[in-house]
Amino acid sequence: MPFDDLRQWIAALDKAGELKRIQTEADPILEIAEITDRVSKGRDGKGAAGGPALLFENVKGHPGAKVLINQFGSEARMKLALGISSYDEVADRVRMFMDVKSPQGFLDKLKLLPLLTEAGKFFPRTVATGPCKEVVKRDNFSLLDFPVLQCWPKDGGRFITLPCVVTRSPKSGKRNIGMYRMQIYDERTTGMHWQRQKVAAEHARDRMRAAVEGKSAAVDIMARSSGGSVLAEGERPSGKMQVAVAIGTDPALTFSAIVPAPPDLEEYIVAGFLRGAPVDLVKCETVDLEVPASSEIVLEGHIHLEELRSEGPFGDHTGFYSLEDLYPVFHVSCVTHRKDAIYATTIVGKPPQEDAYMGKAVERLSVPLMKLAIPEVVDINLPVEGVFHNLMIVSIRKSYPGQARKVMNAIWSLGQAMFTKCVVVVDEDVDVQDLRDVVLKVLNHIDPERDIQFTLGPVDSLDHASRLPDYGSKMGIDATRKWASEGFTRPWPDEIVMDAKTKAQVDRKWKALAKELGIY
């Protein structure tokens, strides 16, 4: 069953023994982050890395406020959030919808009806009102009334870190939900850290192009800023772009905001697919956008197309601070929220953190989509320590010479996968989830000069080592067995593997042997 809102989700976490309520006073400036970091890394003195979800109920400077953090911070909770026991369940559903063929006759059309009925549950529906409208503030509000965290000592200030940011394409009219950190500047303005490759940034650029229609050459000169653009003198675009931000949504919707969906597929539909039920939406008060009706907090406002402001530093999921840069400014015109709103947030930093488990879930759900584009792919692994854009290990069914290099280039052409700094391609018999097996095979199988290639292209904005912001080099490693048709004429040795008969014999004796060896 889907969770209708954050409160149902918290109740489910509580019931499952996955939530700890913290009564000790904790400061949203650094303290809550330090507590959560220790818990997420297993330094609470109990259990393994991941730790429980935390609900802080005594927040310094914010009487009565509650802060939820680490809600997705384990594989078990990530699966609970999606209502599954295995990621394969969702992957199989993805495959089922991708495998639909055009009906050839009446019987085929009848067989398609159950699938169409199921798909009908994915689409959002607009309702008259919802819990997020319990309190409406057009005046006399302050963003600082909410217990927004400062996570790390050198952060530029407090940051909203788990927002669902809603924008609309001026071309198609379709909505997008992205998750972009928001630095609090003052009571009514924040930074909007949408990197230049993100969909919301493209929505802003589309509006800029429309504002200077017929002067596309000027519009195409992009600034160093990830969110803005530089125009010729006297050609600054004027106008505003409407934005809404939902904080504290149901878990499937929050997760959908980080899923790399195609730009024309609304995340509200992705959430409906994951929930198996539509998302109820309400119209905003001051902007022409719709937000989840059950949100804990909604911020409404706009950005000025010509306005950029320094944002950061920010302690990021790379384990390093992302440096100051120019980004759009979000001006808040209205705040709506539930009574006794729960503030949902997260902390990022050196892994493992909560985002590691969210990222691994994205990885598992991305496999069938990647196989659709690159059929020879068997499996992928984005190791947590590679912070999801620094390293991808991919196994393939190799059928022709040079195929590993074809796969590398195909990966660099796929959406957010274009940022992958290092792609390592191995044969299908390598378990990419077993890093010991990967390291053994890769380092034994490569001749570095022959098997490593470099290319230039877009890189993640958080890559502090690239030669220029957003642009740098990437590396591909072909660690597959080399064929004669690839110019390798030496014999390729067999892997050392015990024969099945001997293994079976020892299996039968293993119980007695284990007792003698003291292995239990």
Span 506-519, pLDDT tens digits: 999 999 999 999 88
- The pLDDT mean for the chain works out to 89
Can you give the pLDDT at residue 213?
66
Q: Could you tell me where the beta strands, DSSP code E, fall in 261-369?
A: 280-283, 290-292, 297-311, 314-315, 321-322, 325-337, 342-344
Helix (H) and strand (E) counts in the chain: 14, 23
Confidence of residue 211 (pLDDT cuts 50, 70, 90): confident
pLDDT at position 195: 86
Rounded to 10°, the helix 354-373/75-82 angle is 60
pLDDT at 359 > cutoff 80 = yes
Task: Tell me the pLDDT tens digit for each residue of 30-72.
Answer: 999 999 999 998 875 455 678 999 999 999 999 999 999 999 9
Question: What's the confidence (pLDDT) of residue 147?
Answer: 98
Task: Determine the Cα–Cα distance for residues 144 and 163; give it in Å rounded to an integer.
Answer: 16
Cβ atoms of residues 81 and 72 within 8 Å: yes
Are residues 191 and 185 in contact, defined by beta-carbon separation less than 8 angstroms?
yes
Q: How far apart are the C-alpha atoms of 376 and 379, rounded to whole Å?
A: 9
What burial class does residue 389 get, using C-beta atoms within 10 Å of its C-beta: 0-12 exposed, 13-18 middle, 19+ buried? buried
Please tell me the total number of residues recorded for the chain in this structure: 520
374-486: CATH, from 3.30.460.80, 3.40.640.10, 3.40.1670.10, 3.30.420.40: 3.40.1670.10
Q: What is the pLDDT of residue 276?
A: 86
What is residue 227's predicted lDDT score, i.e. its pLDDT? 47
Look at residues 204, 417, 238 and name the one whose alpha carbon lies nearest to residue 326.
204
Beta bridge partners, 136, equal 336
**Cα–Cα distance, 391 to 451 (Å, whole number):** 17
Digit-coded pLDDT (tens) for 456-509: 999 988 889 999 988 999 999 999 999 999 999 999 999 999 999 999 999 999
Q: Is 78 helix (H, G, I), strand (E, B) or coil?
A: helix
Taking residue 155's Cβ as centre, other Cβ atoms within 10 Å add up to 20
Report whether 251 contacts 9 (CB < 8 A): yes
User: Is the confidence at residue 12, as pLDDT, over 80?
Assistant: yes
User: Which band of pLDDT confidence, cut at 50, 70 and 90, is reported for residue 209?
Assistant: confident
What is the DSSP secondary-structure string of 356-379? Answer: HHHHHHHHHHHHHHHHHHSTTEEE
Q: Encoding tokens for residue 510?
A: 């293993």
What gap in Å lies between CA 419 and CA 460, rounded to an integer?
A: 5
Q: What is the DSSP letter of 323?
A: P
The answer to whether residue 310 scores a pLDDT higher than 80 is yes
* pLDDT tens figures, 415-452: 889 999 999 999 999 999 999 999 999 999 999 999 99
pLDDT single digits (tens) 250-291: 999 999 999 887 777 899 999 998 988 999 999 999 999 999
Average pLDDT over residues 141-166: 97
The predicted model gives 386-414 an average pLDDT of: 95
Degrees to nearest 5, angle at CA 218 with 216 and 222:
105
236: alpha, beta or left? (left if phi > 0; alpha if psi -120 to 50): beta
The yes-or-no verdict on residue 81 having pLDDT over 80 is yes
Phi, psi of 329 (to 5 degrees): -110, 130
Residues of the chain with CATH 2.30.110.10: 123-338
427 catalytic? Reply is no
pLDDT value of residue 289: 97
List where CATH 3.40.1670.10 sits in the chain: 374-486
- Report whether pLDDT(235) > 50: no
Q: Can you give the pLDDT at residue 88? A: 85
Task: Sort strands 342-344 and 66-69 into parallel, antiparallel or unpaired.
Answer: parallel
Range 185-196 average pLDDT: 95
The Cα-based distances of 256 to 100, 362, 371 in angstroms read: 23, 9, 20
- What count of other Cβ atoms lies within 10 Å of the Cβ of residue 2? 20
What is the Cα–Cα distance from 5 to 281, expressed in whole angstroms? 12
**pTM exceeding 0.75:** yes
Residue 116 has pLDDT above 50, yes or no: no
Angle made by CA atoms 280, 144, 12, in degrees to the nearest 5: 40
- The rounded distance, in Å, linking the Cα atoms of 230 and 218 is 8
Confidence of residue 114 (pLDDT cuts 50, 70, 90): low
> Across residues 308-335, what is the average pLDDT?
94
Pick the CATH number of 123-338 from 2.30.110.10, 3.40.50.300, 3.30.2130.30, 3.40.50.2300: 2.30.110.10
Cβ-contact 355, 348 below 8 angstroms = yes
Closest CA to 151 of 32, 58, 25: 32
**pLDDT confidence of residue 483:** 94
Residue 229 has pLDDT above 50, yes or no: no
CA proximity to 161, closest of 145, 142, 174, 146: 146
pLDDT at 104: 56
Q: Catalytic residue, from 37, 155, 250, 316: name it.
A: 316
Is it the case that residue 112 has pLDDT exceeding 50?
no
pLDDT the model gives residue 105:
54
